[in-house]
Structure 1
Amino acid sequence: MENNLWSNIVQVRNASPLVHSITNYVVMNTTANAVLAIGASPIMAHAKSEVEEMVNISNSLVINIGTIDEYWEEAMLLAAKKANELHKPWILDPVGAGASSFRDSALSKILSFNPTVIRGNASEIIALSKTSNTITKGVDSTAQSNEAIEAAKILAQNHKSIICISGETDIIINETQEIHLKNGDPMMTKVTGLGCTATALIGSFIGVIENKTDAVVSAMSLLGIAGEIAAEQSAGPGSLQLNIIDKLYNITEDEFYNHLKMVKQ
């Protein structure tokens, strides 16, 4: 796998997959710019009258429930159903899972279409699997990544999905593998929407990379390494956000492999 990660990054740059995102108001600009920086092409559409057509022409779908309301819930369900029917890869970001009964109800419906990938913080993954009474702190996690491993395994088994737990250590789990990535920088937690950015990047990679687990690992390692390098030249969260976008765009193979910290369990 490790030897394929950079070639996957190059493949995304060359293929420029079209990524349909139904995401939240807070992060639309940031995630669209990140998707463009890695060479993919974002389309941000959530109207019920067009989401099915957008799924049809796209390589992949991103569903992020950060600012979900009743209208967006319907649009998300239409898009997820269409992606499922067309066998298009798609990713679910269960922002704030466990924070309200409305979110949990919407997520239960969306999950019925079995996402290719689910990416969330530890609290969200635990809440989504219903393995405990863990409460989310808004969109922030109250648990560490390793505390969500068993919950992730349950989700992977129940939905045949690849689960990505974001945190100080990013953990990617499918039905047979567990991969830990230890890149990134603590300052990244001070920039809103970087978790959502991770989801958008995964959405880009799964659109063109055949091995979806490799796609998730490639996307997460790319963002973690870009953040790690960018933090070295950033005075604070504001410049970090800009520098991450730049590094996603201009990162080299040597930079990538010199910083990669990956452990297979």
Structure 2
Amino acid sequence: MHNPSQQALNPSSLTANIITALALVRKQKPLVVNITNYVVMNNTANALLAIGASPIMAHSRQEMAEMMQISGSLVINIGTLDSEWIERMLFAVEQANANNKPVVLDPVGCGASVLRTQTARTLAAKANNLIIRGNASEIIALAGEVSQTKGVDALDSSDTALTAAHYLVAHYHANVVISGEVDYIVTASQVIRLSNGHPMMPYVTGMGCSLTALTGAFAAIGETSGLAATAIYAIAGEIAAEQSAGPASLQLNIIDSLYQLNDDQIRQRLNIAVVA
């Protein structure tokens, strides 16, 4: 499996890699362990099922060691944070490290409170094989810069988070996905811009959380840059929006779009550029 974090590639070969990654997820059906927030558990589980992965929402410390032995990846989403969950998340990352499994971190609301910011940084520092997926404001805050947040909503544009993303890549040896009107994939070797999706998507709660979960599915089959998940989810959202009267129907249609997405749709719709 070619990984954009490992070598410089052009848009044509990146598109081919995305298509290959989707086929592998559908073939292998990787188990993705999710410690995620109450608001989006159903959404993220359905998104993972629709793309072909196998989700499990495992929050108990007692079973985490077993789960990480059989899973392909660990997804941690700090959206509904409390002290008990923090301890479980830290233990889960330890078990992911022990089993050489990738960790996908969604620092929901990082910058909105000291608790969220410190917890996200602690989790990021603990993970050995890390992918960070967040909106621009979360990425900026995680890197220690001043961000503009309103709860869990981003008030910064994706472009403004690139410097912060480069810092996170170097500091945590991570790959970073910046989500927004334009998405960026930032690795040690490349910056890739994706311009798909639809303006209606931010009006459905948990859209970014579902992308984080999908990033875990692709990481489980070796695509740890975050590119394939981001491209596929944005294209699925674009297709779903064309069939939707509003956010409620979009939430349903995006699941169908993920399930039905084919190679031709990816080739025809993907708006990708290598910017560095």
TM-score range, shorter chain: over 0.9
| 1:85 to partner: Cα distance | 2.1
Aligned with 1:127 (options 141, 144, 152): 141
Please state if 1:116 is matched with 2:126.
no
1:46 corresponds in structure 2 to: 59
1:93 corresponds in structure 2 to: 106
Residues in 2 aligned to 1:201 and 1:245: alpha-carbon distance in whole angstroms: 12
Please state if 1:81 is matched with 2:94.
yes
Aligned with 2:238 (options 222, 228, 252): 228
2:272 corresponds in structure 1 to: 262
Question: How many correspondences in the alignment?
Answer: 261
Provide the TM-score with structure 2 as the length reference: 0.92
| 1:192 to partner: Cα distance | 0.4
| 1:135 to partner: Cα distance | 3.6
1:169 corresponds in structure 2 to: 182
Stretches of structure 1 lacking an aligned partner (at least 5 in a row): none
Structure 1 moving runs of 4+ over 6 Å: none
Aligned with 1:182 (options 186, 190, 195): 195
Amino acid at match of 2:114: S
Amino acid at match of 2:109: G
Residues in 2 aligned to 1:135 and 1:240: alpha-carbon distance in whole angstroms: 27
CA contact (8 A) 2:109 2:152 kept: yes
| 1:180 to partner: Cα distance | 0.4
Please state if 1:139 is matched with 2:139.
no
CA deviations 1:162-194 (Å, max 9, x no partner) are 000000010000111000000000000100000
2:256 corresponds in structure 1 to: 246
Residues in 1 aligned to 2:24 and 2:39: alpha-carbon distance in whole angstroms: 29
Stretches of structure 2 lacking an aligned partner (at least 5 in a row): 1-13
CA contact (8 A) 2:124 2:130 kept: no
Q: Secondary structure of 1:203's partner?
A: helix
Residues in 2 aligned to 1:235 and 1:150: alpha-carbon distance in whole angstroms: 37
Residues in 2 aligned to 1:147 and 1:236: alpha-carbon distance in whole angstroms: 29
Residues in 2 aligned to 1:125 and 1:52: alpha-carbon distance in whole angstroms: 29
CA deviations 1:215-235 (Å, max 9, x no partner) are x11111101000101111100
Moved more, 106-115 or 176-185: 106-115
CA deviations 1:49-69 (Å, max 9, x no partner) are 222221121110000000010
Q: Secondary structure of 2:185's partner?
A: strand
Please state if 1:201 is matched with 2:214.
yes
Q: Secondary structure of 1:91's partner?
A: strand
Provide the TM-score with structure 1 as the length reference: 0.96
Query: Once the two structures are aligned, what percentage of the paired residues are identical?
Result: 51
2:6 corresponds in structure 1 to: none
CA contact (8 A) 2:15 2:267 kept: no
CA contact (8 A) 2:200 2:241 kept: yes
Residues in 2 aligned to 1:109 and 1:7: alpha-carbon distance in whole angstroms: 34
Amino acid at match of 1:60: S
